Structure 1
Amino acid sequence: MRQRNAPFGRTLCAMVTPFTSAGTLDVDGAARLATRLVAGGCDGLVLNGTTGESPTTTDAEKRELIAAVRSAVGDGVPLVAGVGTADTRHTVELTLAAEKAGADAALVIAPYYSRPQQAAVEAHFRTVADAAGIPLMLYDIPGRTGTRITPETMIRLADHPRVVAVKDCSYDFLGTQKVLAATDLAYYAGCDEHILALYAIGAAGCVSTIANAVPEQVAAVLTAFDAGDTALAAELQSRLIPLTEAMMASDLPGTTTTKALLNTLTLPAGPVRPPLLAADDRTTTELLARYDALVRMRPSPCDGPGRASGI
C-alpha cells in the first residue's frame, strides 16, 4: 500500500464541547478532556463540529474553545475547527477566526437548508478556500445538511491547493472509492461503524465520536491494520459495535449519548444545550453497561505479547 495521505493525523476525535452545570462554556473541562484524548491515542481533534454542538455555540465560544484546547495540547496536535454555516460570508468569517485562534484546518459542511445546486456548493467551498489561510476538510453529511457533495464536485474541488481532506458521512462507498482513485484527498471516516472499512480502501483515518469515551480502543483498530494484522483489526472493530450502536444508532443524537456517558464516567461534558435534551436514566445505564463490557473485555487468543489489543 502506498503511504497514506493523513495531513491531520490518523485517529481524530470529534470532541464534545463541555459546558458547566449552568450551561456556559467549560474552558477548564475542555482542556482536561482534550489532554485525556491525546494521551489516549488521538493524534488530532475536531472542535466545534456536530458532536461539539456547533449550531448552539456562539462565535465567541467557538474561538475560546479553540484557544483553550490549543493551549492545553500544544502545537504538535492538529486541531480541525468546524466553521460550517448556511451562509458563505459567515463561514469565511468563522474560518478566519478559527485560524487566528489556533486551528490548523477548517471543517466545512455543504450549506444547509437552502439546498444549493452542485455549482453553488462548489462555489461556496472555493470562496472559503480562497479566503482561508489554513487547509479545508470538506464535510459530506447529507443526512444533516440535505445537500450532497457529489463525487464529481469533490474531484473538481481537489484541484484547489487548500482543499485537502474529507470527513465522509455520505454512506456511499462507491462514491468514496471514485474520489480516492481520482484524487489525493485525505478521507476520514466520520461514521464509527465505517472506520476499518474506509481505512482498508485507502482512507487517512477517522473522525470518531465514540473516541470521546474510548480513544485507546478506536486507535487500536487502525494500529492493528497498519501492523498488517487485518484479522485483529477486524476483531477490534467488531468489539466496538455494541457501544457504537448504543451511542450512534439510537433515536438520540450522538452528542446526547456521548455526554451522558462521559458524565457518568465523571469526565468533562456537562449538559447538552436546547433543543437537545439529556438522555434518560435507562439510556445512560445501557451506555455504561456497554462501555464496561468493552473496556473489561479480555484480549483474544490472537492478541499476543506486545500486540495491539486496544484494551
Structure 2
Amino acid sequence: MTSTIASKSTPIPPGIYCPVISLYKPTARQEVDYDASYKFFSHLIRGGVDGLVLAGTTAEAVLLSAEERKELVKVARRAAIDLGRPQFPIVAGISGQSTNESIKLADDALEAGASFGLLLPPSYWAKAATKDVIVGFYRDVADSTRLPVVIYSVRHLESNNCNKSNLCQFPAVCNGIDMNSDTMSELAHHPNIVGVKLTCGNAGKVTRLTEEYSHEQFAVYAGSSDWLIPCLAGGGVGCVTGIANVFPKCVAQLYALWNQGKTKEARELQGLVAQAEKACKEGIAPTKFGAAHFAGPAAGLTDAKTFWPRKPYAPCGEEKSAWVVQVMQHLENVEQALPDAPSV
C-alpha cells in the first residue's frame, strides 16, 4: 500500500453483504411488510452473510418513502439483536439527488441503527455532474453526518438477454455517470468515506485502489458475486450481491473457501454462482421471484405476492419465471446442504 493516510475510525468490515429486497403486503397499496422483513433479515443473517444493505437498488429504494427506509433499518437492527448480533453491520442507502436530501437520509439511518451509508453520485442532470460537483457532493455529505459513507459506483450493465433498446438492471440509476479510480482515490482521503461498492464491474479499479489503500484506509468491494474471486484476488475484501437474497449460504461459502486457501473448490463454486446470478442481472422482478421460490419457504414466507415488485412494476411472467428456476436450480441442493452460520 502506498498511501500514508490514517486508517478510518470505523472501517467497514470485510465480507458478503446482501442488498436486501423489500417485501410488501398483498394489498392494493402494497404497504411494506415489516413482519415479513424481520423474518427475511433473520434468515439472511442465519445464512452467514456478513452485513445487510437496505434501501439500495435491489430494495427498490426509489419506491420507498423516507419513513419506510428508516423503519426497515430499525427492523433489521432488531433482527440482528434478537440473534445475538447487536453490532452486525447494516448499511443504509442514503442516496438523494440533493446534498440536503442525502444528509437527511443519513441522519435518519444513523438514528434508526445503521452502521454505514451507501451513497450514489448525483445524476439527474448528468452533464452538470462534473468531477468537482461529485467530489463536493460526497465531501459535503460526509462532513455533515457521523454515519460512515461508502461510495456506490455504478454504470449501466447490459444483461445476457437485453438489447440496447431494452436496458435492464441499471437503466437510470446513475444516468451514465461512472467515476474513475482517481476520483475515488481523491475521496478516499476523507476521514468519513470508508470504501466503495464497484457495481461497474471494473477489476482495474480494484487493483488500482487496493495498491494505494489498505482495507482500513479505504475498502473495496465487488458489486456482485459473479466476479467475487477476481475482486478478492485483486485485493478487494468482499462483495455486495443480490443473489445473496436467494442463496446466502452459497455466497458465504464461496467467500470462506477463498479465504481458507481452497482455491480449486472456490473456483468451482464461483462458476456455479455466476451462472445463477445472471438471472439477477435481468432486473428486480427476477431477483425477487428467485428469492420467493428458493429462499421464501426457508424464511417462513410462502405468499409469492410478498415478493412482488412494487407497482407500477410487475412480477415475472410465466416464461421468465421458468427461466429463473432453470438457471438457479443447480444451487438449490448446495444451499440446503450447508449449515446455518454459528450462533454468537
Say whether residues 1:8 and 2:19 are aligned partners: no
Query: Once the two structures are superposed, what CA deviation does each residue of 1:60-115 show, in whole Å capped at 9, x if it has no partner?
Result: 00001101111111222100000112111101110011000100000000112222
Counterpart among 222, 226, 229 of residue 196 in structure 1 = 229
Say whether residues 1:65 and 2:72 are aligned partners: yes
Residues 33 and 297 of structure 1: CA distance in aligned 2, closer, same or farther (over 3 Å): closer
After TM superposition, where is structure 1 displaced by more than 3 Å over at least 4 residues in a row? 265-269
Unaligned runs of 5+ in 1: 299-305, 307-311
Q: Shift of the alpha carbon at 1:180?
A: 1.6
Q: Shift of the alpha carbon at 1:237?
A: 0.4
- Inter-partner Cα distance in structure 1 for 2:135 and 2:253: 36
Which residue is 1:296 aligned to? 333
Say whether residues 1:153 and 2:183 are aligned partners: yes
Q: Shift of the alpha carbon at 1:275?
A: 4.0
- Inter-partner Cα distance in structure 1 for 2:311 and 2:182: 37
| 2:150 and 2:197 in contact (8 A); partners too | yes
Query: Once the two structures are superposed, what CA deviation does each residue of 1:33-86 show, in whole Å capped at 9, x if it has no partner?
Result: 110001011010000100001001000000011011111112221000001121
Which residue is 2:167 aligned to? none
Unaligned runs of 5+ in 2: 2-9, 157-172, 340-344
More deviation in 273-282 or 120-129?
Answer: 273-282
Q: Shift of the alpha carbon at 1:190?
A: 0.7
Letter in 1 for 2:90: L
Q: Shift of the alpha carbon at 1:297?
A: 5.3
Q: Shift of the alpha carbon at 1:228?
A: 0.7
Letter in 1 for 2:245: N
Give the secondary structure class of the aligned counterpart of 2:151.
strand
Give the secondary structure class of the aligned counterpart of 2:307.
coil
Say whether residues 1:211 and 2:244 are aligned partners: yes
Letter in 2 for 1:63: K
Query: Once the two structures are superposed, what CA deviation does each residue of 1:113-154 show, in whole Å capped at 9, x if it has no partner?
Result: 222001110000001100111111100002230212221111
Which residue is 1:259 aligned to? 288
Point out which structure has higher relative CO (alpha carbons under 8 A, 6+ apart).
2
Which residue is 2:159 aligned to? none
Which residue is 2:25 aligned to? 20
- Inter-partner Cα distance in structure 2 for 1:240 and 1:151: 27
Q: Shift of the alpha carbon at 1:295?
A: 2.1
Which residue is 1:165 aligned to? 195
Say whether residues 1:271 and 2:308 are aligned partners: yes
Which residue is 1:303 aligned to? none
Residues 168 and 67 of structure 1: CA distance in aligned 2, closer, same or farther (over 3 Å): same
Give the secondary structure class of the aligned counterpart of 2:226.
helix
Q: Shift of the alpha carbon at 1:259?
A: 1.2
Which residue is 1:283 aligned to? 320
More deviation in 126-135 or 268-277?
Answer: 268-277
Residues 176 and 9 of structure 1: CA distance in aligned 2, closer, same or farther (over 3 Å): closer
Query: Once the two structures are superposed, what CA deviation does each residue of 1:143-193 show, in whole Å capped at 9, x if it has no partner?
Result: 230212221111111111110111101232222321221223111111232
Letter in 2 for 1:288: V
Which residue is 1:120 aligned to? 133
Which residue is 1:187 aligned to? 220
Letter in 2 for 1:154: M
| 1:20 and 1:271 in contact (8 A); partners too | no
Q: Shift of the alpha carbon at 1:241?
A: 2.4
Letter in 2 for 1:80: V
TM-score, structure 2 as length reference: 0.81
| 1:86 and 1:113 in contact (8 A); partners too | yes
| 2:206 and 2:234 in contact (8 A); partners too | no
Counterpart among 23, 36, 42 of residue 35 in structure 1 = 42
Say whether residues 1:81 and 2:92 are aligned partners: yes
Which residue is 2:120 aligned to? 109
- Inter-partner Cα distance in structure 1 for 2:51 and 2:19: 9
- Inter-partner Cα distance in structure 2 for 1:33 and 1:6: 26
- Inter-partner Cα distance in structure 1 for 2:260 and 2:13: 20
The count of corresponding residues between Structure 1 and Structure 2 is 293
Which residue is 1:137 aligned to? 150
RMSD of aligned C-alpha atoms?
2.1
| 2:272 and 2:330 in contact (8 A); partners too | no
Residues 108 and 297 of structure 1: CA distance in aligned 2, closer, same or farther (over 3 Å): closer
Which residue is 1:96 aligned to? 107
- Inter-partner Cα distance in structure 1 for 2:99 and 2:229: 34
| 2:92 and 2:116 in contact (8 A); partners too | yes
- Inter-partner Cα distance in structure 2 for 1:290 and 1:19: 26
Residues 204 and 297 of structure 1: CA distance in aligned 2, closer, same or farther (over 3 Å): closer
Which residue is 2:55 aligned to? 48
| 1:247 and 1:258 in contact (8 A); partners too | yes
More deviation in 94-103 or 189-198?
Answer: 189-198
- Inter-partner Cα distance in structure 1 for 2:273 and 2:204: 24
More deviation in 204-213 or 238-247?
Answer: 238-247
